[in-house]
Each structure stands twice: as structure tokens, then as C-alpha cells.
Chains A and B, each alone.
Chain A
Amino acid sequence: MATAAERPRKLGRLERPALTGVLVREIVNYSSYWRSATFSSTVEPTIYLLAFGFGFGSLVSRVAGYDYVEFVGTGIVATAVLFSSAFAAMFGTFIKYQFQHTYDAILAAPVDTEELVTAEVLWVASRAGVYGCVPLLVSMVFGLDPSWGMLSVPFIGFLAGFGWACFGIMIAGFAKSIDNFNYVISAVLTPLFLVAGTFFPLDGLPRWAQIAGEFNPLHHCVELVRHAAFGWEGWSDAASVAALVAFGLVTWRVAIYAMERKLID
């Protein structure tokens, strides 16, 4: 048997076994609720697609040079990513902390808050990457042509989902009660969701709103997905990737800070 003297006294940060442990917990749990999660992640964007695609589509046939169904079908990917990441992270984190006391058990194991948050985010972001593809598949039924660029959509969904998952955990970390989420949903997520270029292009908005749109991570996700489907646009896309990476990094660190404050006293 190894003695304390032979073992490393201090284990490292972001260790793989710790991340794996938390991920395994999520994956095993997913086996018990994947049906409902998949149902809502599929049905929700489909309803948006039908409502806007056919509702607006009957008024306007072409937007920004695309068929309206193509425009919305690609835009809705960002919505699916947002719903399956920010919301899942906010509610999931709060429930696991407040009601199930899951994090008490995990932090009593050789897992630190930084690893816990990172693993949870990786899991939510991976799911968002997969669920983000659903609207594209649904749109194909309604006439969207497949293209090679669409193969990058899961990765775009993962990248955007990473930031939104961190954002959700951060909000859950700062929230005193689950009711606080109402403020965030109404005042932050709803406007960002509507003014992301999903349902109408931002070009028609006043100048200040267009500039504000550049700070909306969801807008960058919409742009990337659309360009992945219909043709890349070089530097503009690189800038969008950079914006999503920056969004992810900042929210990641803030989420860890918020959860450390909440979990360690």
C-alpha cells in the first residue's frame, strides 16, 4: 500500500479522472430522462419553424437573399442551442444544488468546484451541439438543401453551448432563489433571443441596435450556422468564432467563481 509520503500531496487542477467522474454521473442520469429531453429539444424548434416559417413565410418569401424557410431554419439552430444549454444549466444546476444536494456528494469526492463546473459545462455543451442539429434536419424536410458546411454545425453548437451553459451556471450560482431566474429570462435571454437575427435580419434595425447585436453571442451563433449552410464569409466568421470563444472563457471563469462562493463556505 502506498503511503502518504509516496503519493503526490497535492493533486492537480482540472484532472481528467475528476472530469470523467462528473461526466459519467451525467451520462448515466441521462439514460433515465433522455426521452423527455429529446422530445422538448425536437418539438420546440419545430414549432418555431412551423409558426414562423409558414406564418411569416406566407407574407415574405425571401429575406436577406434566402428563402424564408432557409433563413429561419438555420437561425433556429441557435435557439435550440440556447434552450438546451442556458436553460438546462440554470435549472439543472439550481436543482442539483438546492434540492438534490448532488454537489455536496461530488465535492466530498476528489473533485474541485472548477472541475465540477467544467465537466457540467462540457456535458451540456455536447448535448447542445447535438440538439442544435435537430432544426436543420427538420428544415430539410421542408426543403432546406443539405450542404457539406452543415457538418460543422455540431461544433458551432458546442462552442456557443459552452458559453451559454457557463452563463446558466453563473446565474444559478448568483441566484438566491429559483424565482430570480425570471429576471434573467425576461430581461436578458428573451431580448437576446429575439434580436439575434433568427427571425429577421438585424440590417433593418437602427444603427445602435446593430452594434448591440454584435455583442449578442446568439447573433454570432446564428451567423456562423447560416454561413456554414450557405457559404463561409472569411474574416466575419473568424470574428464570430472569436466572439464565442471570448464569451465562453469569460462566463466559464465567472461561473466557477459564482459556484465556489455558493458551494464552499
Chain B
Amino acid sequence: MPPPALPLLPGEPGELAIRLRGVVKRYGPITAVDRLDLDVPLGTCVGLLGPNGAGKSTTMRLLTAQSIADEGELEVLGFRLPAESKAARAQCGVTPQLDNLDVTLTVEQNLLVFTHLYRVGRSERRAAIETALKLANLVDRRDSRVDKLSGGMRRRLLIARALVHRPRLVLLDEPTVGLDPQVRQELWALIDALRAEGTTILMSTHYIEEAQRLADTVLIMSHGQRVAAGPPAQLVAEHAGSEAVEVYGSPGRLTEVEAEAAAAGLRTRRTGTSISVLGVEGADGRAPEGERRPANLEDVFVLLTGEQID
């Protein structure tokens, strides 16, 4: 039965690729996702940022109906979940956190399998595989078995595999976790290229730099809840100001700096080796001596999700 309110045309400004309202997911006594609201407008890249255990992966699983929410409304590409999830999944590409490529198959065979799973028409299969090979920069490795590939190549293949059917929405769950900086940069270039093509992306990550570089909007999660959302620059300005001072010293000295800053009405966060005193741009003489640097998303992240991870 078609519902009364039909979704807007694809690509129309303001249409949401993902819309979550008051979503709750519990596992026994643990509430993994707690009254979560999430909007992903079509054509944008949204970063789901949070420490381990914040509920990012559960949120990703809810979007493919591999988890079923206990409460709340979920819509993906205008389809209501979980009832219409299969139709939504047909237009989504998913890159899981755990590599689940078929390792005894070749690169090309892995892509071929996914053209079938995602119902790419017979006449388009060849071209879809070629496009994916080019995108992942694996044209020369098409006949290599997956267990002979490097970690970076496997990740690229994992992303390319999610794109064989030209999905309107791509879900990337921790796309660069556990990779070298060089490989990570390579993947960022790949994701950025997708974004430039207008593909809608929802990406979960606990790497702040990743979110800052790639996401148009960031949603910070902690304990299953949304603690802040907005463009990275705006979040930084709002929560951490524009400038910070980094003070290094002995643990005793750092405690003193913390107390002094608190007395001067300035916010601080510990970085492990130093104290960052935030919002010093308007503090004149109240700010301690130290290295001045622009405030960043990491400041916001730690301020909002806490210094200790429990």
C-alpha cells in the first residue's frame, strides 16, 4: 500500500536520505542507541563521530535492518524501516567495519558476486565491474586472489564492492580503522571523489581528522545519544572557540594550570601530555603562557564525550 506522504524527487534540495527520530535500541540492560535523531540530506557527507561503544555501529546496523529498533521512526531514501528495508537496501552500498571479502576469490570475482547480489542488469555487469576496478585502482590486480592483497587494497575493494550498483546512499562503517596513514589518505581521496560525484555518504568514525576532512556535517555521539551536530567549523566555534593554548609541564604543573584556567573562567581539556586551555582568543591576560593553536574538532569531541572513556 503506498503511504499518503510520498517522498520528494531524488536530488531535490532538502530531501533527506536518512531520517531518524527518537530511535532507541536496547540490548538487555544496555541502551546502545538512546533517542537518536539523525538527518542526512541527499548529496551530503555526514560523519558519525564518537568513541568506541558510543552506538555508531549499532546505528549503522539499524539502517540496513540488521538490527531492529525498539522505538522511534527510521526512514532511508524515503522507505520506512524495517518494513520496507529491502527496497532501501537495493539502493544503498555498505562498507562494513570487518572485512568480509571472499578471500579465496579474485578481486574481479568478488565484484561479480556483488553485481548479482545488488541486481545489476546482465548487460551492465561488465561495465559496472570495470568502473569499480578503476575507482578502487585495482585494474592491474583484477585476477589477484584477495588473500594476496595488501590491507589497503582490501579496503579499497571493500568500498568499490559497495558501489557496483551505483547506490544513492553509501554507508561507511569505520572505513579506515587500523590502517597506515598513507593508506588512510588514499581512502580519503576515494571517499572525497565519491562525495564530489554527489553520492550521499554516512560515515562512522572515531578518527577526528577523518570527520573534519570529509564530512559536511558531523554528529557527535556518546552513550548512544547525540551530543552535538553541525558543520565541523561551526561545532568548533560553538564549543571550543577559535584559539587554544597548549601548556606542557609536569603533572603537578598541569594541575595548577587547570585550576588557574578554571578560576579565570576558561575551559580546559587534558590531552595526555598537556593541558589545552580553550577559547583563549578573548581572554587577554587571563590565558596562560604556552603554544597557541587554532581550536579543532578534537577539542569539541573531548569536551563533549568526556576525557575518560568508560
* Total residues of chain A contacting the partner, CB 8 A: 34
Which residues of chain B from 57 to 99 have any CB-CB distance to chain A below 8 Å in the complex? 61, 64-68, 77-79, 83-84, 86-87, 89-90, 92, 94, 96, 98-99
Instruction: Pick the contact of B7: A4, A33, A264 (CB < 8 A).
Output: A4
User: What are the interface flags for B6-31 relative to A under an 8 Å C-beta threshold, 1 for contact and 0 otherwise?
Assistant: 11011000000000000000010000
Apart from A264-B66, A265-B66, list 7 A-B contacts with CB within 8 A.
A3-B10, A5-B6, A20-B116, A21-B119, A24-B116, A101-B96, A101-B98
Q: What are the residues of chain A within 8 A of B139 when measuring CB–CB?
A: none
Q: What are the residues of chain B within 8 A of A11 when measuring CB–CB?
A: 86-87, 90
User: What are the interface flags for A3-17 relative to B under an 8 Å C-beta threshold, 1 for contact and 0 otherwise?
Assistant: 111011111000001
B104 touches A110 (CB 8 A): no
* CB<8 Å pairs between A and B, sample of 6: A4-B78, A9-B84, A104-B66, A105-B96, A108-B96, A265-B61
A4 touches B68 (CB 8 A): no
Q: Identify the B interface with A (CB < 8 A).
A: 2-3, 6-7, 9-10, 27, 61, 64-68, 77-79, 83-84, 86-87, 89-90, 92, 94, 96, 98-100, 102-105, 109, 112-114, 116-119
User: What are the interface flags for A100-122 relative to B under an 8 Å C-beta threshold, 1 for contact and 0 otherwise?
Assistant: 11101111111110000000000
A59 located at the interface, meaning its Cβ lies under 8 Å from any Cβ of chain B in the complex: no
Bound CA span A25–B117, Å: 8
Which residues of chain A from 149 to 182 have any CB-CB distance to chain B below 8 Å in the complex? none
Instruction: Pick the contact of B109: A28, A100, A102 (CB < 8 A).
Output: A28
- Min CB distance, A247 to chain B, in Å? 30
Q: A102-B100, A105-B96 are in contact. Are A17 and B119 (CB under 8 A)?
A: yes
Bound CA span A109–B118, Å: 6
B113 touches A32 (CB 8 A): no
Q: A104-B96, A265-B68 are in contact. Are A4 and B77 (CB under 8 A)?
A: yes
A109 touches B117 (CB 8 A): yes
- Min CB distance, B229 to chain A, in Å? 25
A7 touches B66 (CB 8 A): no
Bound CA span A177–B27, Å: 20
A108 touches B66 (CB 8 A): yes
A22 located at the interface, meaning its Cβ lies under 8 Å from any Cβ of chain B in the complex: yes
Which residues of chain A from 164 to 213 have any CB-CB distance to chain B below 8 Å in the complex? none
A29 located at the interface, meaning its Cβ lies under 8 Å from any Cβ of chain B in the complex: yes
A101 touches B105 (CB 8 A): no
